[in-house]
Amino acid sequence: MLNFIDYLQTKIIMPTARKHQISLTDTPYYHCISRCVRRAFLCGKDRLTGKNFDHRKLWVANKLTQLANVFAIEVCAFGIMENHSHYVLRVDQETAKNWDQNEIISRWTKLFSGGVLIQRFQAGKCKTQGEIIKVNELVEIWRERLTDISWFMRCLNESIARQANAEDKCTGRFWEGRFKSQALLNEQALLAAMVYVDLNPIRAGKTQTLETSEFTSIAQRIQEFSKSTSSDKLLQKQSLKPQFEKADIIQTNVPLAKFNGWEQKYQGIPYTLLDYFELADWTGRAIRNDKRGFIPHNEPNIIHKLGIDSETWLETVNIFTDNFYTFIGPIEKLEKICHQQQKKWLSGSNLCRRLFSQKNVLSI
C-alpha cells in the first residue's frame, strides 16, 4: 500500500528543479519567459482605469541592456509584450573563464555592493592570507553567477517589480512566479524560438510588419541594419528595402548577439542576418496571412539548409505557442538528457521525435 507521500507524488506533477532545466553541457541557448501576475496588462494599457503603463516596457529594455553588458550572457532575441516578455539567451562560459579578478569585481559591483572586504582589496589594503583567500572565493562565486541564467533573470525581474510597485504605491508580486526556461538543443530549435519571439506583436495583432514591432529584437536589428553605411550593398532583394526605410518606432539599444554565418560553432548565432530577416518575414506571412498577405513562392535558403520543409517549419514555430516543454530538440539529445537525469521520459518527446531529424539538422 502506498503511503501518503507516495500517493501525492503519483497525483501531483512536481515542478522541475532549475538545475535540471539548465544544462550547459548540452546547449548554451535558452528561451526564457516571464509573465505578469494574473497575466494582467501591467506593462500596457489598463482596461479598467484607462491608465497606460507602456513606459514600463522601456524599463525592461533598459535593464536588459545593463545586464547584457555585465553578464557573460548574450541576448539573441527579445520581445516585450503588455503582460509577458520573452528572451532567447546564449551563455558564454568561455569568455567568463578568461576574465581576471578585477574584471569580475568590476562587473559584479555594477549591480551589487562588493562589501567592505572588496573595497579594501580594490584599495590595495588586503594584506593577510585569510583576506586574499576570501576574495578569491568571492570572485569565483561571482564568476559562476555571471554565467547563470537564474541570476540574470532574477536581476532583471526583481528590478522591474520594485519600480512598478513603487510607482503603484503597493507591495506584492509583479511577476506571477519564477521565469520559465526551455533548453534549445539544436539550430532548428534556436531559430524557431527566435522567430517565435520576434513575431509576438504580429501574432497578437499589435502590428502588421516586422519593422514596426516595438520592443522586439528584430525591429532593433532592422533599425541598425538600415543605418549601416554598407546596407545598400548587402541588400540582395529590393523587395526587402522599403520595409527597412519605413520603420519609425521607439528604438531600443540592447546589445544583441551577432549573426556569424554557418561556420562559427558556439559563437553568436549560426545564421546570416539577411537569411533571418527573410525567414522571419516569410513565417509571419504564413502564420498571419490575414494580416501579411500571402506566402511567397520562393522560400528562404535557410529553410533548405536546415533540411526541413515548409509545413514542418511552421509547426516547429508553433511548438512555443501550444505547449511548454523544458527541452526542445532532436530525440537523440532528449534521450541523453533523460539518461543524465535518470528519467524514463521527457514531456514533448513524441513531438520532438517527429519535428527534429538529427540526420538533416546541424547540431549546436
Phi and psi dihedrals of 59, rounded to 5? -55, -50
pLDDT bracket for residue 12 (50, 70, 90): very low
Domains (range + CATH), the chain: 29-92+147-355 (3.30.70.1290), 98-146 (no CATH)
Q: DSSP string covering 1-44, please?
A: ---HHHHHHHHS-PPPPHHHH--TTT-SEEEEEEEBGGG--TTS
**How does pLDDT run across 92-103, given as a tens digit for each residue?**
999 999 999 999
Which region among 57-66, 134-143, 163-172, 296-305 has the lowest average model confidence (pLDDT)? Answer: 296-305
3-state secondary structure of 191: helix
- At residue 110, the pLDDT reads 95
Question: What is this structure's pTM?
Answer: 0.80
pLDDT bracket for residue 267 (50, 70, 90): low
Name residue, grid cell 505557442: 321
- At residue 350, the pLDDT reads 75
Which is higher by pLDDT, 91 or 188?
91
Which is higher by pLDDT, 12 or 128?
128
**CA distances in angstroms from 263 to 25, 269, 350, 358, 363, listed in the order given:** 20, 10, 31, 18, 12
- At residue 262, the pLDDT reads 58
Residue 218: pLDDT over 70: yes
- Please, are residues 190 and 184 in contact by the beta-carbon 8 Å criterion? yes
**How does pLDDT run across 30-74, given as a tens digit for each residue?**
999 999 987 778 888 877 778 889 899 999 999 999 999 999 999
User: Sheet harboring 29-35: ordered strands across?
Assistant: 73-80, 84-91, 29-35, 180-184, 327-328
**Residues recorded for the chain:** 364
Name residue, grid cell 506583436: 201
From 259, 157, 268, 261, select the one nearest 218 (Cα to Cα). Answer: 259
| Strand duo 180-184 + 84-91: pairing | unpaired
Average pLDDT of the residues of the chain: 79
Residue 163: pLDDT over 80: yes
CA dihedral of residues 21, 23, 24, 30 (deg, nearest 10):
-30
Which region among 256-265, 309-318, 353-362 has the lowest average model confidence (pLDDT)? Answer: 353-362
Sign of the dihedral defined by the CA atoms of residues 146, 148, 153, 154, in that order: negative
